[in-house]
């Protein structure tokens, strides 16, 4: 990509026109797709390129939300943090594509956690990009957050998830508050099998995903060492990313 830019070529990356879909589709073995729409793909390209900004164009002025007492939604010009309320207010998929405002908010959140600025603006307005590059106010601007390291960004956003485990409350506290590794004993059940070095979704007892990790050994090996199996480290701390911190 950088080589193309060096030659003055403008690369066009489109999720809908792939040469190989092996890394994009949900496989029969239960693998979760890393890419599902062009908004998310754009954010991941931005992350991989270490770019400073992500501009997402749509058919509205930006992120619109209802104010207290207002009848019509109004443009939210600046977002410092993507909250659950913002995600809830985002619209569903558009009629013409797989995304919508929901995926644009998710893409903006990825850009924020990459240490960059994101903007959602009206692509039907010919002046939108001119205003953006001139530093004028346009659309909805999302402020940069603390930059996640490359490996953590990959785990949180780009890696294909193959397995899924549910952990008890104690293990969840150890991971989220104590920043500890996950022991085999903390796993309540395996809901999707995985192999060594697979990326695995880590969920609480109610099924909510709060972290992801790279497995130190496969799910079939969990009970191989008898009594010592409980003390085995399934996910080391350096191979765990908290999704709550990423969001």
| H or E element at residue 152 | helix 150-153
* Cα 80 from Cα 19, distance rounded (Å): 37
Beta strands 182-183 and 233-235, pairing class: antiparallel
Measure the CA–CA gap between 229 and 232, rounded to whole angstroms: 5
Secondary structure class of 3 (helix, strand, coil): helix
Spatial neighbors of 195 by CB under 8 A, at least 6 apart, are 162, 163, 215, 218, 219
The residues, ordered by sequence, that sit 6+ positions from 177 with a Cβ below 8 Å of its Cβ are none
Q: What is the CATH number of domain 30-145?
A: 3.40.1160.10
> Which pLDDT score, from 0 to 100, does residue 28 have?
46
What residue spans define the domains of the chain?
A: 30-145, 152-246
Q: What global pTM score does this model have? A: 0.70
Pairwise CA distance, residues 95 & 203, whole Å: 32
Give buried/exposed letters for 84-120 (b at 16+ CB in 10 A, else e): eebeebbeeebeeeebbbbbbbbbbbbbbbbebbbbb
CA–CA gap between residue 229 and residue 183 (Å, rounded): 9
Four-point Cα dihedral 18, 1, 46, 244, nearest 10 = 70
Beta carbons within 10 angstroms of residue 233's beta carbon? 14
**Do residues 41 and 13 make contact, with C-beta atoms less than 8 angstroms apart?**
yes
Q: Please give the CATH number for the structural domain made up of 152-246.
A: 2.30.130.10
- pLDDT, tens digit only, all 247 positions of the chain: 888 989 999 888 876 655 555 555 544 444 455 555 789 889 988 888 888 999 999 999 999 988 777 778 889 999 999 988 898 888 655 555 555 799 999 999 999 988 899 999 999 998 999 998 888 889 999 999 888 877 888 888 878 899 999 999 999 999 999 889 999 999 999 999 999 999 999 999 999 999 999 999 999 888 776 667 788 999 999 999 998 655 5
Tokens at residue 144, please? 């940069």
| CA-only gyration radius of the chain, Å | 20
pLDDT for 23 equals 53
């Amino acid at each position: 990509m950088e080589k193309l830019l060096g030659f003055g070529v403008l690369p066009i990356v489109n999720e809908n026109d792939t040469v190989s879909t092996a890394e994009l589709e949900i496989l029969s073995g239960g693998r979760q797709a890393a890419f599902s729409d062009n908004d998310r793909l754009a954010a991941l390209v931005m992350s991989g390129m270490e770019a400073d900004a992500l501009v997402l164009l749509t058919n509205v002025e930006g992120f619109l939300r209802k104010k207290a007492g207002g009848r019509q939604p109004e443009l939210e010009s600046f977002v410092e943090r993507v909250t659950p309320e913002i995600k809830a207010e985002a619209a569903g998929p558009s009629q013409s594509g797989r995304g919508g405002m929901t995926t644009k908010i998710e893409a903006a959140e990825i850009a924020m956690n990459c240490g960059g600025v994101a903007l959602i603006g009206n692509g039907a307005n010919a002046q939108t990009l001119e205003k953006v590059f001139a530093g004028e106010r346009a659309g909805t601007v999302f402020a940069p957050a603390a930059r996640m390291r490359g490996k953590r960004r990959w785990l949180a956003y780009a890696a294909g998830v193959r397995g899924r485990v549910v952990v008890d409350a104690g293990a969840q506290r150890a991971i989220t508050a104590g920043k500890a590794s996950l022991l085999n004993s903390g796993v309540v059940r395996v809901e999707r099998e995985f192999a060594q070095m697979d990326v695995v979704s880590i969920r609480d007892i109610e099924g909510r995903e709060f972290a992801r990790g790279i497995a130190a050994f496969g799910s079939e090996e969990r009970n191989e060492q008898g009594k010592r199996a409980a003390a085995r480290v399934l996910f080391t701390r350096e191979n765990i990313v908290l999704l709550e911190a990423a969001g």
